[in-house]
Structure 1
Amino acid sequence: MRVPMLDLTEQYQTLRSEILQSMEEVMSSAHFILGSNVKKLEADIATYSNVSHGIGVANGSDAIHISLLGCGIQPGDEVIVPSFTFFATAGAVARANAVPVFVDIDPKTFNIDPLKLEAAITEKTKAIIPVHLYGQMADMDKIVEIAKKHNLAVIEDAAQAIGAEYKGKKVGELGTTATYSFFPTKNLGAYGDGGMIVTNDNEIAENMRVIRVHGSKPKYYHHVLGYNSRLDELQAAILNVKFPHLDQWSENRRQNAENYTKLLNEALGDQVVTPFVEEHNRHIFHQYTIRVDRRDELQAFLKENGVETMVYYPKPLHLQPVFAELGYKEGDLPETEKASLEAISLPMFPELKMEQQVYVVEKITEFYKG
């Protein structure tokens, strides 16, 4: 059996006629930039996030970068980020000419450890970027409490977590801003790049709308240095077709996660550490990530048997050559470094079949017990 890490073909076939019709409507309208589809998606995603504003941008990386600028981050400011995350989180900080300050993770959730935050705060610290990794929100109460105490912006990196909840609150409700990615592999994925920022702050929202169009307001009059970063009208049209299905897809993912956890616990017990979900969280399982010994050997074995897996973040950001000048060394963030050696993500998408999951677990069991 072949089990892909992600398979978007069934989803496309289900929505094919609607998607093609939406694209045809855009082509016929000849309105390709910041048109009605972008406005509709911005409004719908803002409402879904229980906030006032949605600002469509070109991609999830720009969403973080423009959030930082919209929140007033200046060159030389420090921004606290986790090291166990995709490069864009810290890369956006560096692109804003600010300084990423790396903090360790909670080993149970892989999210930034709020108990490590205050020790990292200096007089130069201006923001915290909690990443809601793999689809589970970070411990926002503690993070927001610390941010308020020190007058810091909180930018939620929710690239993997659209629809996730923390104590009944959606992504975006608790932070200053929150950022989404619509990269094709995401839970709500476009057929190219795309991103969005959501916020309840009117002034910050207006700042970000100006920044995404070269800093112009009105057109051809520039008071700040901005960027060309707009969500494409065609991609917005596709996302408008897909968006009504998001919650059902998330529920399918949650059911798949329950299946995996049950099967793995029955077969292997504590030989595999299955995902920990906080009771107050709604985890939407962008990824199903386990911890194992001999991780790389397991991945090679599964590949030989037709099972695709992914190792996300095998080299933590604080040890990446591009950030060498910041002076971090091996051993500085022990939980992050341990996770980078043990974490492996199994196939996960809404249309994943039970028999595929059974096969994946059988092969993992064969590796450890065979």
Structure 2
Amino acid sequence: MEPHGSEGPGPSGTAAEAGVPFFSQTATVTRLWPLIERNLHRVFDNGKFSHGQQVAEFERELAAWTGAEYAIGVNSGTDALVLLLRACGIRPGDGVLVPAYSFFATASSVVLAGGRPQFVDIDPATYALDPAALAAAVTPESRFVMPAHLFHGMADTAGIGAVARDAGLTVVEDSAEAIGMRRDGVHAGLHGAGGVLSFFPSKTLGALGDAGAVLTDDPEIAATVSALRHHGRGGDTVNNFPAIATSSRLVGENSKMDDIQAAVLSAKLTVLDEDIAHRARLAAACTEQLRGLPGILRLPTTDAHGPGHEGVHYVYLIETERRDALAAHLERRGIGTEIYYPLALHLQPAFAGLGYGPGDFPCAERASGRALALPMYADLTLDGVERVCAAVAEFCTGDEPRGGDAL
């Protein structure tokens, strides 16, 4: 097996030492291949490739790892959000309060479930929905609030929960990025009616394609999601969720998890704690090397999330006013980056009809113009971190001629 965190070929096919891709899981898959292969053989021998025994086994393992009463596998994190909202009783036109700074699916899932996104500004210290702004944004149409846990930490679930109780809102969590994150010992996604996980390949626990899950402690929500993912069929025979009286009247969809993805996820779950610890070491090394560089406005910290919070460095996000120039400089050095997120949700063309405009949510807009994600994944090595940080320092200190990119 390859050692933990060894690096494979970059996206261009050259050796990783010539650059650092934004994401790779080549070494992880190689390291875990004997276990993945064993799980795959079980799938092939069983002959059921969707919604089968390997999915059921992964669901049990995931529930145990997160502490959830129920984990329901589906085919993507986006579908997980849609099905969770439906299972929680969303009605056409219901207002769902969501952060203005998040991945597109945070808001699009609301529309797909029949609701209406109501945007709320973020706390600039955590990138998550601001409880004070939430309280001011509640309207008579508001029925749900959906905080998103982003990058390396959770939203203020206590503050959001207090507002939700006062306003009579149901809390559902967009915890797609948040596997391993906990507050007061409770895993992300379990601080309200339920939450979701995405297993997109680059996530902390990533598949080899799309996959997702719903987490909940509520048996009725679990049974409804289980039915909705399988064309509305109740009384699931794999998971033995209790049949629900309305199951014959549900119009569901085909959102079952593939057993091949579950086979990969079960194998990767066995080293998830190790991978999370490795990410923490990488993040600490990044912060040590980047701290104090001119032009870097912010480095990630979990301190802003308060006591009792356990973060996970899914993404290492920095802020700089010369974000695009820095990204271009790093690209020339063979270092991959991603912009999270280049346009705040309320300014997306798809939501133009909701009536929001520039300046409505200044914290979200400021983050979308300054935030840049550097490489952060289980295959990354400390040597890779040093190459990334050296290239960032080169840009910030002007040690290399950059023409029009001068800071």
Q: Report the CA distance between 1:279 and its aligned residue.
A: 4.4
Q: Report the CA distance between 1:17 and its aligned residue.
A: 1.8
- 2:10 aligns with none
- 2:356 aligns with 328
Equivalent pair of 2:295/2:320 in contact (CA under 8 Å): no
1:93 maps to a residue whose letter is V
Q: Report the CA distance between 1:98 and its aligned residue.
A: 0.7
Aligned-partner Cα distance in 2 for 1:198–1:223: 23
Equivalent pair of 2:223/2:234 in contact (CA under 8 Å): no
Please state if 1:178 is matched with 2:195: yes
Please state if 1:258 is matched with 2:275: no
**CA offset digits 1:276-310 (Å, max 9, x no partner):** 31343222111000011211011101111111111
Q: Secondary structure at the match of 1:225?
A: coil
Q: What is the aligned counterpart of 1:187 among 199, 204, 216?
A: 204
Equivalent pair of 1:195/1:231 in contact (CA under 8 Å): yes
Q: Secondary structure at the match of 1:173?
A: coil
Q: What is the aligned counterpart of 1:55 among 67, 72, 76?
A: 72
Q: Report the CA distance between 1:161 and its aligned residue.
A: 0.9
Q: Report the CA distance between 1:364 and its aligned residue.
A: 1.2
Q: Secondary structure at the match of 1:332?
A: coil
Aligned length: 368
Aligned-partner Cα distance in 2 for 1:212–1:181: 15
Equivalent pair of 2:120/2:129 in contact (CA under 8 Å): yes
Output aligned runs, 1:1-370, within 5 Å.
1-217=18-234, 222-265=248-291, 268=293, 271-277=296-302, 278-280=305-307, 281-370=309-398
Equivalent pair of 1:214/1:222 in contact (CA under 8 Å): no
Aligned-partner Cα distance in 1 for 2:107–2:306: 29
Equivalent pair of 1:64/1:179 in contact (CA under 8 Å): yes
Q: Report the CA distance between 1:40 and its aligned residue.
A: 1.6
Q: Report the CA distance between 1:339 and its aligned residue.
A: 0.4
Q: Report the CA distance between 1:22 and its aligned residue.
A: 1.3
**CA offset digits 1:341-361 (Å, max 9, x no partner):** 100000101232222212211
**CA offset digits 1:42-82 (Å, max 9, x no partner):** 12212222221111111100000000000000101000111
RMSD of aligned residue pairs (Cα, Å)? 1.5
Identity among equivalent positions (%) equals: 38
Q: Report the CA distance between 1:269 and its aligned residue.
A: 6.2
Q: Report the CA distance between 1:173 and its aligned residue.
A: 2.7
TM-score, with normalisation over the residues of structure 2?
Answer: 0.87
**CA offset digits 1:207-234 (Å, max 9, x no partner):** 1111111112369x73111111111111
Equivalent pair of 1:49/1:173 in contact (CA under 8 Å): no
Equivalent pair of 1:264/1:272 in contact (CA under 8 Å): no
Aligned-partner Cα distance in 1 for 2:76–2:65: 19
Gapped regions of structure 2 (runs ≥ 5): 1-17, 237-246, 399-407
Aligned-partner Cα distance in 1 for 2:322–2:117: 31
Q: Secondary structure at the match of 1:89?
A: helix
Gapped regions of structure 1 (runs ≥ 5): none
Equivalent pair of 2:194/2:217 in contact (CA under 8 Å): yes
Q: Secondary structure at the match of 1:42?
A: helix
